Structure 1
Amino acid sequence: MRRIISLSVARKKVIKLSAIFAMASVLGMLLTANYIGSLNSDNQPDSTVSSVGHGDVNTLKTALDAWRENYEAKGGNAEVLRLLLGYSKAQSSLYTQGHAQFQLNLKTGEVIFQTKGLDAGQYDLWLIDSLDQPIQSKVDDNALKIGSFAVENGKGGLEAQLERSKLLGFTLNSIVVSKAGQSPLENTVITGAPDLMHKLYYADKPWLTTAMGDFKDIKPDASMPFDFLLPKAAHADTLSDLTPVLGALVAQGRQIFHKETFNGNGRTCETCHRADNNFTIDPNYIMKLPPNDPLFVAETNPALADLENPVLMRKHGLILTNVDGPGIDVFRSVSHTLAMATTIKSELLADGGEFAADETMANATGWSGDGAPGSGSLREFTLGAVAQHMPKTMARNAGVDFRLPTEAELDAVEAYMLSLGRSKDYPVYQLTFNDPLTEAGKDLFDTKTNPKDASGAPILGKTANCNGCHQNAGGRSSSTKANPTRNTGIEQMKIHPARLLKPDMAYDGGFGTSPAFCGADAPDEANCFGDGRFNTTPLIEAADTAPYFHNNAVSTLEEAIAAYNSDAFNTSPGHLSKGTDRTVKLDSTQVVAVASFLRAINALENIRMSDQLDNQARQINNNATAREIARLGREENQDAIQVLKEGVLGNSWQAVLRLERAAYFQNLAQLAPVRALRNSMLNQAMAQKKQARELIASCDPSAIPAATVVVPPAELQYTCREIGL
């Protein structure tokens, strides 16, 4: 339970301080003309800062850089547009496991298309222009047939040459495969589309030399005669700096994410990804929601009775998904959307990745990389979420049960999600925690493999072997610097709490849709789909986001750490990653130590984010907007208090006292009637948080890492200064 300061006491303090400020204003001794200009009404428009909430344009820029690196490693470049196609939950007429690659040479107009997994038959390939229209508004005037192809033995493809004269005025917004002779509007089999990243990348291609640099006065490249086909980021070619464009896009995406229902059942993206609960939901949070909350539409609307399993949702925080196809009910927890900029990149074989299938992911999204339909991009994740979670009826007919987002809305939501949370991981080896238990946990965590004895056998119980998949406590591999997928045996744990309530619940096979054997109770037949692998989640936010794993199998941080002591992990493929034995054997005191470390680093991130929100609130003129952002900053500070107190041992009690003092000033800021007073309170809150941070840890940029620590490139981790230490 979060500790809330008495608002009655706070009001008395505000009244007293308001009187002081008012008197000072009259006497002209304190408030300057700038302050007077800030005394706005709640309805006055804000002209200073876009309200991006937890979003940060710098985090979005980091995501764009990571995307560019991954895109070019997979064969995309300034001359060649490369797109992936797949089944779309929102747009495909029938379910299929088919997928494809589309390649367009912007210099020559040559198209190369290859597909696998489609049923045998004849198909047509289309270019679709639906700019500024709902995606389903594909009419004949906006569709250009490239050619036809046959699929035999699961494979097919075509090569074609585009004619520039026939394409003038056309903008490529999506690629569609339909059954031969049928309109792409009436029969979409698989589809794919350029997302926000493509649009920014191909906005006159300054990325290739200047990253997020100067877009001004760049002339169209005459050597790329088909470049005009590609949709561009709004106004990107007229601005010398993308920051204002991206800031406005993030702010727009925030409004859509939290408010837009897409003419569906009343749910929004925020229904499951709550900003005041670390962009996720859990049973305790669900318990406090009112009965008419849109989350409960399966209970209140008979037409949607099959949309969720209310018992599993309320007791275990599990949401019904159909990641393996219609009619296959898979229940998953709601993964938070923080720090996606650090985990959006999937592993590549060329960088040391283990699985070729990972290269088919446009983005590493969801719990298993295939949470998004189609190519697996974040753009298509939004499309799939609207169709899966927001329909008026279970028929899920686009245009009837919901409206599909426009291209502009998809861009904005993608920008917002990629701007949330951290842009980098923490410099763990440079941190020294003031509590010795926490420091011991850091040392256990920040290793990659077990030490070996003279015979080469692993010595167990000395390390936790976390660094390999969670470098710097994030969600990146220390080898590939990308998000790894691993089978860590979670589905093989001896008791699945939700399955006790629903014994016939499908096993979750993770990545992929191939039939597999996942559960011991069905040894003679396949009882799930996938190869057992799941995305690696970042751990900096772990203490904030219980319960744990894709199925909410355990409730506490200590239980989640102890799961890696179990036979389920130590006999799983994941414990032998890259042929190295990563068996974990920690005793109870070591589990507590690792948990203490994760709580401390989570608290540091809470404080960093709280300061970011407080700083944002300080720059906003509009009182209502500033109070909203300041409230989010207070919530982050309360989270820091909560995670430190939950540890019991090694809980940095002195830091907690400073954070509680900061919460007091944040409550006063919530009640402040004018910007000057609000900012004064926020400044004092930030001063208290600074003291708390320094009581938790110190940071030495010149620290020499231990021989067992794999140090990441500097651009992937914060500096000591960036985390306030």
Structure 2
Amino acid sequence: MLTLLAGTGCVATDVTTPAEPPEDPAVETAVEPVEPLVDATVDVSAQDTLTLNDRIAACMKDPRVVVGAVTVDTCVGADLFFRAPFGGNGRTCATCHRIDNNLTIDPKFIATLPPTDPLFIAENNANLKDLEKPPQMHQFGLILENVDGFLPDPRTHFVLRSVPHTLSLATSVTLPPGSQNPPADRTGWGGDGAPNPGALRDFMTGAIRQHYTKTLARVPGTDFRFASDAELDRIDQFMRRTGRSNELTLGTVVMSDTRAETGRTLFLQVGCDGCHGNAGANIGTANFNFNTGVESSRNPALAAFPHDGGFGTRANPDGSFGDGTFNVPPLIEAADTGPFFHTATSIVGAPAHNTATATTIEEAIAFYTTAAFRNAPNGFPIALNGTQIDDVGRFLRGLNAAFNAAIAIRRINAELAVVAQFHNTQLAIQRQLIRLANVEVGDAINVLSAVPNLDTASLTAFKNAATQLATARTTSVEADRVTALKAARTLLNQASTGIGKNLAYKIGEGSVMF
């Protein structure tokens, strides 16, 4: 459990000794692994004794609240999201939505977790051995979901889905005009992930029943408790204020890398923008569902498991439930937030990047050149050759890296406000803010360096910013910390503007919470 927790809420222990021993100066880059920032194993008994008023009181003292970097309600919502077990089996939202892995999990990240992690409770608790399918979780990052109800038996009436990130939800959950309501918001891979009335705030209710339960009987008050309305409101506020709150205008964006700029033009011309308007999740201002053939292209290793029917509960001849459509996710965040589809998806028959399971943004793009997409009910021909797939990938990688820079800068600004008022106290929270900023910088480095010669000047600026943030995080000298933070911020602004023009993201206050 993080030492920054002071028994209640998310208030850091007040460290008054300037000579606190420095932490490991490792920089979160492609070279060095990212040490988990938030231990998802919470002190269940301690957390379950906390009332909402306890969490509010703690957040009122949180340095980020005191300096105005975040509101009390968003702080409380984050505390509930990351740490509240709601009387259940020890899992929290942070079990699957990890702040140090872009609020999602994937097989690579899962492989770094200790065997005692709450994610693996089905492997460690006989009462919950059927809560998950551990081999498929480890191999593909798939979680067992009873999206169509628990009857007649939750052990057979299920689907396996990957974990979508929860970034920028304020931009991606708006119901299309005239569409079925409930659900009131488009949530989850199917667009109907929250129980009635189906708003984003109701998503937590479904998550508690599905993932937090002590037994498969799922008896409220015994196996878990539901969040109160006041708790749901604050969790909803936190989720809506994490990531970005605005859309780009791709018609005005100009990418510095020639091939990325070609990719931007292709994105607008071949049909990508038709569903992912401005590389977001919307057509206009609303989020739609489509049947794009992903389910027909899932990895053959999943053949023995139930098919996923997506939205709704209509019974189908193949045993699935739903109308076959799935929710459109945003693409600005995509390059470093795989999984890219609701299931482990094979790419077959593409001009390039064919693979058993898509794990890169280029492989995800390649899917849309295959017969699986072209012949789907909502599919159409997309003519991209291998080079053009890579060009679109370079474009999306650039958007993602600029987004990483924006989140890192938001966290640096919060830390500068904290250090200005708290100086060399509250060092635990200060160092975690810096560390989180550097996690984003590391993501940008990975995103850009994964392909040849992409935004090399920006890549250098990101690497130099990572070095400055490592210095800021480990130094015990306040003035040196401030100097390094400001230097990192300057470098990140240079990196972002070097990627392209008109790539301005408005980052929500929830992004400074952990």
**What TM-score do the two structures reach when normalised by structure 1?**
0.57
Specify the alignment match of 1:417 in structure 2: 239
Give the drift of 1:583.
2.1
Q: State how 1:149-168 maps to structure 2 within 5 Å.
A: none
- Rounded Cα–Cα distance in structure 2 between residues aligned with 1:499 and 1:656: 34
- Rounded Cα–Cα distance in structure 1 between residues aligned with 2:332 and 2:427: 32
Give the drift of 1:385.
0.4
Encode CA deviations 1:215-259: one digit per residue, 9 max, x unaligned: xxxxxxxxxxxxxxxxxxxxxxxxxxxxxxxxx111001111111
1:513 aligns with 2:313: yes
Name which of 559, 565, 583 aligns with 2:369. 565
Specify the alignment match of 1:281 in structure 2: 105
- Rounded Cα–Cα distance in structure 2 between residues aligned with 1:446 and 1:679: 42
Q: For residues 358 and 486 of structure 1, do their structure 2 counterparts lie closer, same or farther at Cα, with a shift above 3 Å needed?
A: farther
Q: For residues 529 and 671 of structure 1, do their structure 2 counterparts lie closer, same or farther at Cα, with a shift above 3 Å needed?
A: same
Encode CA deviations 1:69-119: one digit per residue, 9 max, x unaligned: xxxxxxxxxxxxxxxxxxxxxxxxxxxxxxxxxxxxxxxxxxxxxxxxxxx
- Rounded Cα–Cα distance in structure 2 between residues aligned with 1:393 and 1:469: 40
Name which of 316, 323, 331 aligns with 1:531. 323
Give the drift of 1:358.
3.6
Q: Which runs of 4+ in 1 moved over 4 A?
A: 8-12, 45-50, 55-58
Specify the alignment match of 2:8 in structure 1: none
Give the drift of 1:51.
3.7
Name which of 469, 472, 476 aligns with 2:278. 472
1:56–1:420: 8 Å Cα contact kept in structure 2?
no
Specify the alignment match of 1:445 in structure 2: 267
Q: State how 1:118-517 maps to structure 2 within 5 Å.
A: 248-326=72-150, 327-349=156-178, 357-447=179-269, 464-478=270-284, 481-493=285-297, 500-516=300-316
User: What amino acid sits opposite 1:473 in the alignment?
Assistant: A
Specify the alignment match of 1:163 in structure 2: none
Name which of 409, 416, 423 aligns with 1:611. 409
1:49–1:616: 8 Å Cα contact kept in structure 2?
no
Secondary structure of the 1:320 match is strand
Larger Rg: 1
Secondary structure of the 1:468 match is helix
- Rounded Cα–Cα distance in structure 2 between residues aligned with 1:473 and 1:48: 39
User: What amino acid sits opposite 2:256 in the alignment?
Assistant: N
Give the drift of 1:502.
4.2
2:368–2:382: 8 Å Cα contact kept in structure 1?
yes
Specify the alignment match of 2:353 in structure 1: none
2:411–2:434: 8 Å Cα contact kept in structure 1?
yes
1:488–1:573: 8 Å Cα contact kept in structure 2?
yes
Q: For residues 268 and 285 of structure 1, do their structure 2 counterparts lie closer, same or farther at Cα, with a shift above 3 Å needed?
A: same
Q: In structure 1, list runs of 5 or more residues that go unmatched.
A: 1-7, 13-44, 59-247, 350-356, 448-463, 517-524, 576-581, 702-715, 719-725
Encode CA deviations 1:380-433: one digit per residue, 9 max, x unaligned: 210110111011111111111112212222111111111110001123222211
2:63–2:426: 8 Å Cα contact kept in structure 1?
no
1:631 aligns with 2:429: no
1:344–1:363: 8 Å Cα contact kept in structure 2?
yes
Specify the alignment match of 1:688 in structure 2: 491
Q: For residues 305 and 56 of structure 1, do their structure 2 counterparts lie closer, same or farther at Cα, with a shift above 3 Å needed?
A: farther
User: What amino acid sits opposite 1:513 in the alignment?
Assistant: T
Encode CA deviations 1:5-34: one digit per residue, 9 max, x unaligned: xxx99989xxxxxxxxxxxxxxxxxxxxxx
Q: For residues 358 and 469 of structure 1, do their structure 2 counterparts lie closer, same or farther at Cα, with a shift above 3 Å needed?
A: farther
Q: State how 1:27-176 maps to structure 2 within 5 Å.
A: 51=64
Encode CA deviations 1:571-625: one digit per residue, 9 max, x unaligned: 12213xxxxxx42111101100000000000000000111001111111262211
Give the drift of 1:651.
1.6
Give the drift of 1:658.
1.0
Q: For residues 717 and 389 of structure 1, do their structure 2 counterparts lie closer, same or farther at Cα, with a shift above 3 Å needed?
A: closer
Higher normalized strand content (fraction of residues): 1
Give the drift of 1:678.
2.1
**What TM-score do the two structures reach when normalised by structure 2?**
0.79
- Rounded Cα–Cα distance in structure 2 between residues aligned with 1:336 and 1:373: 19
- Rounded Cα–Cα distance in structure 1 between residues aligned with 2:375 and 2:506: 32
Specify the alignment match of 2:45 in structure 1: none
Encode CA deviations 1:114-154: one digit per residue, 9 max, x unaligned: xxxxxxxxxxxxxxxxxxxxxxxxxxxxxxxxxxxxxxxxx
Q: For residues 398 and 291 of structure 1, do their structure 2 counterparts lie closer, same or farther at Cα, with a shift above 3 Å needed?
A: same
Quick check: 250-259 or 648-657, which moved more?
A: 648-657
Give the drift of 1:443.
0.4
Encode CA deviations 1:471-490: one digit per residue, 9 max, x unaligned: 11101104xx2111111111
Specify the alignment match of 2:481 in structure 1: 678
Specify the alignment match of 2:463 in structure 1: 660
User: What amino acid sits opposite 1:603 in the alignment?
Assistant: A
1:473–1:540: 8 Å Cα contact kept in structure 2?
yes
Secondary structure of the 1:565 match is coil
1:332–1:550: 8 Å Cα contact kept in structure 2?
yes
Higher normalized helix content (fraction of residues): 2
User: What amino acid sits opposite 2:467 in the alignment?
Assistant: Y
- Rounded Cα–Cα distance in structure 2 between residues aligned with 1:364 and 1:56: 29
- Rounded Cα–Cα distance in structure 2 between residues aligned with 1:280 and 1:387: 19
User: What amino acid sits opposite 1:673 in the alignment?
Assistant: S
Q: In structure 2, list runs of 5 or more residues that go unmatched.
A: 1-20, 26-57, 151-155, 346-357, 419-424, 508-514
1:278–1:338: 8 Å Cα contact kept in structure 2?
yes
State, as a whole percentage, how many aligned pairs show the same letter: 40
- Rounded Cα–Cα distance in structure 1 between residues aligned with 2:238 and 2:141: 24
Encode CA deviations 1:272-331: one digit per residue, 9 max, x unaligned: 000000000000000000111110000111111000000010000000000011141101
Give the drift of 1:655.
1.1
- Rounded Cα–Cα distance in structure 1 between residues aligned with 2:134 and 2:258: 44
Secondary structure of the 1:415 match is helix
Secondary structure of the 1:573 match is coil
2:183–2:196: 8 Å Cα contact kept in structure 1?
no
Encode CA deviations 1:449-471: one digit per residue, 9 max, x unaligned: xxxxxxxxxxxxxxx31111111
Give the drift of 1:559.
1.3
User: What amino acid sits opposite 1:531 in the alignment?
Assistant: D
RMSD: 2.6
Give the drift of 1:359.
3.8
- Rounded Cα–Cα distance in structure 1 between residues aligned with 2:69 and 2:454: 29
Q: For residues 341 and 403 of structure 1, do their structure 2 counterparts lie closer, same or farther at Cα, with a shift above 3 Å needed?
A: same
Secondary structure of the 1:375 match is coil
User: What amino acid sits opposite 1:505 in the alignment?
Assistant: F
Give the drift of 1:568.
1.4
Relative contact order: is structure 1 or structure 2 higher (C-alpha 8 Å, sep ≥ 6)? 2
Name which of 545, 554, 558 aligns with 2:337. 545
- Rounded Cα–Cα distance in structure 1 between residues aligned with 2:69 and 2:191: 24
1:438–1:593: 8 Å Cα contact kept in structure 2?
yes
- Rounded Cα–Cα distance in structure 2 between residues aligned with 1:671 and 1:688: 19
2:248–2:503: 8 Å Cα contact kept in structure 1?
no
Name which of 386, 394, 398 aligns with 1:588. 386
Name which of 538, 555, 578 aligns with 2:359. 555
